[in-house]
Amino acid sequence: MRVLVIGSGGREHALARALARDGDVTELHAAPGNPGIARIAQVHDVAAADPASIAALAARIDAGLVVIGPEAPLVAGAADAVRAAGIACFGPGRDAAMIEGSKTFAKQVMVAAGIPTAAARSCTGDAEVSEALDAFGPPYVVKADGLAAGKGVIVTTDRGEASRHAASCGTVVIEEFLDGPEVSVFALADGSAAVPLLPAQDYKRAHDGDAGPNTGGMGSYAPLPWAPPGLAAEVLATVVQPALDELRRRGTPYSGLLYAGLSLTAAGLRVVEFNARFGDPETQVILDRLVTPLGGLLDAAATGGLAGAGLPAWAPGAAVTVVIAAEGYPGTPASGDEIDGLQDAERESGAYVLHAGTCRTVAGALTSSGGRVLDVVGTGPDLASARAAAYRAAGQIRMRGGWYRTDIAADPGR
């Protein structure tokens, strides 16, 4: 099977790494890729969010399966374009990807399907916003309706800040505050059937102790020793399957990865958000533990073959990812800073480095080119050893202005 991965971040490096280990993947391509991905796949130029350009590349290299990593091409209709070219594609079409592309649409699907989630109102204009803030009370949760790379949401007790964020966003969703540990449960879906993956936890705030602004994610770990047994099965039954059934009923069947971001509240699990693609950096730890060949799973999801696929197998032990971010992230990140020490980091037993926002200069130096620059993945027989391996390796990496949280997986179940 010849596979093309679309994207250039740490998630795509993790996908490429897992696909490269699948004996049935005979050729691995990526576009636009990054210097880490280029070591294991043939990389190509592509206009990353342009459906026609992605479909044309897939046809040119005669891909058997296209795996679309990020949300932007999905929401733009890249999966539709690839399928229209007669090529199997892992990822929802434009209409189904609206589950991530619009918070209002996601809420409508949840309400129609009876999926437990925070009570919410979709608001435009000061009067509606003000009424909703009063109705829900603090802490205020205000979400921009469209895609915002994980940065469109604020949770605050400051009413002025909540109003100002709402005013800067156009249409917003204002919702009830959910109090409980957060968990990410991903499921592979083929339009009607789904298979859950290993639950993981990520760290969305920028700084230690969950302080600072929301980011795309600063670290992750799996498995979750504290999570209730049967969590993935419960999410499949109460969240994923009802969402798939509702989307199929609406004539927009969902295939690809359905990401359920959950809060485990005292009253039971509640959906915080849906995403239409693998989460980043949860994917890095989940795929690290996956034993079942990834290409076969993604191909089954893309071609309607999950019903008989069985549950994926997971390696014992644990994985922890620490994200190394650029100076200024999640605001305007610095770029062009030289990166050193990767080989030293990978000499650490049980650790490796994925590229998230890197590029090569003409002279061949590796430099930063994004907010999240590297993902250091530590593995071990348990969470504590995986965490120690990740941090020993992270400590070897040198980059001006580079920084990371020091408390990833330090407080499992927080």
| Nearer residue to ligand AMP within complex by CB, 153 or 294 | 153
Q: How far apart are CA 88 and CA 316, in angstroms?
A: 32
Q: Is the sign of the CA dihedral 321, 196, 4, 68 positive or negative?
A: negative
Please report whether residue 1 would count as binding ligand AMP according to CB under 6 A.
no
What is the identity of the amino acid at 129?
V
Give the C-alpha separation, 139 to 350, whole Å: 41
From 2-10, 76-84, 150-158, 245-253, give the range in contact with ligand AMP by CB under 6 A: 150-158
CA Rg value for the chain: 20
CA distance 214 to 208: 12
d(CA 197, CA 233): 10
Task: Find the shortest distance in angstroms from Cβ 322 to ligand GLY.
Answer: 14
Which residue among 155, 231, 334, 384 contacts ligand AMP (CB under 6 A)? 155
Cross-sheet strand order for the sheet of 254-265: 194-196, 182-191, 254-265, 268-275
Residue 273 vs 337, nearer CB to ligand AMP:
273
What does the alpha-carbon distance between residue 178 and residue 175 come to, in Å, rounded to a whole number? 9
Return the range that interacts with ligand AMP (CB under 6 A); candidates 69-77, 169-177, 362-370, 401-409: 169-177
The CA distance from 311 to 156, in Å, is 40
Closer CB to ligand GLY, 260 or 399, in the complex: 260
Is 239 among the residues that bind ligand AMP (CB under 6 A)? no
Of the two residues 153 and 323, which places its CB atom closer to ligand AMP in the complex? 153
Q: Where are the beta strands (DSSP E) in 333-407?
A: 339-340, 351-355, 358-360, 366-368, 372-380, 398-399
Rule CB under 6 A: is residue 105 a binding residue for ligand AMP? no
Residue of the chain from 6, 74, 153, 306 that contacts ligand AMP (CB under 6 A):
153
Q: How many CA atoms lie within 13 A of 115 on its CB side?
A: 32
Query: Under the criterion CB under 6 A, does residue 118 sit at the interface with ligand AMP?
Result: yes
Nearer to ligand AMP, 249 or 414 (CB): 414
Q: Rounded distance, CA 322 to CA 336, Å?
A: 21
Decide if residue 178 touches ligand AMP (CB under 6 A): yes
Residues 203-222 that bind ligand AMP (CB under 6 A): 204, 214
**177 lines the binding site for ligand AMP (CB under 6 A):** yes
Q: Between 25 and 198, whose beta carbon lies closer to ligand GLY?
A: 198
Binding residues with ligand AMP: total (CB under 6 A) = 16
101 binds ligand AMP (CB under 6 A): no
The length of the chain in residues reads 414
Nearest to 403 by CA among 374, 366, 378: 374
Name which of ligand AMP, ligand GLY, none residue 280 binds, using a CB cut-off of 5 to 8 Å depending on partner kind. Answer: ligand GLY
Closest residue to ligand AMP using C-beta atoms: 273
The one of ligand AMP, ligand GLY, none whose footprint includes residue 299, by CB under 5 to 8 A per kind, is none
Q: Whose Cβ is closer to ligand GLY: residue 150's or residue 304's?
A: 150
Nearer to ligand GLY, 202 or 299 (CB): 202
> In terms of CB distance, is 285 or 397 closer to ligand GLY?
285
Least CB distance to ligand GLY at residue 329 (A): 14
Binding site for ligand GLY (CB under 6 A): 150, 202, 217, 275, 279-280, 282
E-only strand ranges, 268-357: 268-275, 318-325, 339-340, 351-355
Taking a C-beta distance cutoff of 8 angstroms, is the pair 253, 101 a contact? no
Residues 268-327 that bind ligand AMP (CB under 6 A): 272-273
Number of H helices, E strands in the chain: 14, 24
State the first-to-last Cα distance of the chain, in angstroms, to the nearest integer: 41
Q: Whose CA is closest to 379, among 403, 354, 350?
A: 350
The binding site for ligand AMP (CB under 6 A) comprises 118, 141, 143, 150, 153, 155, 175-178, 182, 204, 214, 261, 272-273
